[in-house]
Amino acid sequence: MGTWDIGPFDNDTAADFSSTVDEAPEERKADVLLAAFREVIETGDDYLDSDLAVEAVAAAALVAAQLPGGTPVTTPYGPDQAIPPLPAALRPEAVAALDRVLAKDSELLELWEESDGEEWKAGVLHLRAVLAAAMA
């Protein structure tokens, strides 16, 4: 995986995921995000591949961007097309996926921990906080 910074879209896998989101019809974009969350959640206690985790983090960033306290996705590596208003039902799925990304047996977490990824982890925790606040 080529990674150049700590943001949700600052790696090759997330940039490719952005293309997948762009290629989906507007009415199916939420389904693409939900699929990314569910793939991560459904790993349970099994080892979580970093590519799946990266896609879930990027998807969570897209959901959080529409919420108070969320950061707009302005990077050129994010989706080119506007994301329609997303259903509130995605928020708990996103939180559960981020919790899994930050749990044991997560390759992405391990990779960041090897390179002093506290700033990356703080960014993921911020996404989670924005999503959780919107569920309250």
- Per the structure, the count of domains in the chain is 1
In a domain, 2, yes or no: no
Residue-range definition of the domain harbouring residue 40 = 12-135
So what's the pLDDT on residue 136?
A: 80
Of the candidates 120, 114, 96, the one whose C-alpha atom is nearest the C-alpha of residue 43 is 96
Closest of 136, 8, 127, 30 to residue 77, by C-alpha = 8
Count other Cβ atoms within 10 Å, centred on residue 94: 31
Position 1 in a domain? no
Q: Is residue 75 helix, strand or coil?
A: coil
Segment 94-125, tens digit of pLDDT: 999 999 999 999 999 999 999 878 999 999 99
Report, as an integer, the average pLDDT of 79-86: 96
The mean pLDDT value for 57-75 works out to 97
Cβ atoms of residues 101 and 52 within 8 Å? no
Tell me the whole-structure pTM to 2 decimals.
Answer: 0.96
pLDDT of residue 115: 86
> Residue 33 domain-assigned?
yes
Tell me: pLDDT of 2 over 60. Answer: yes
CA torsion sign for 111, 36, 127, 28 is positive
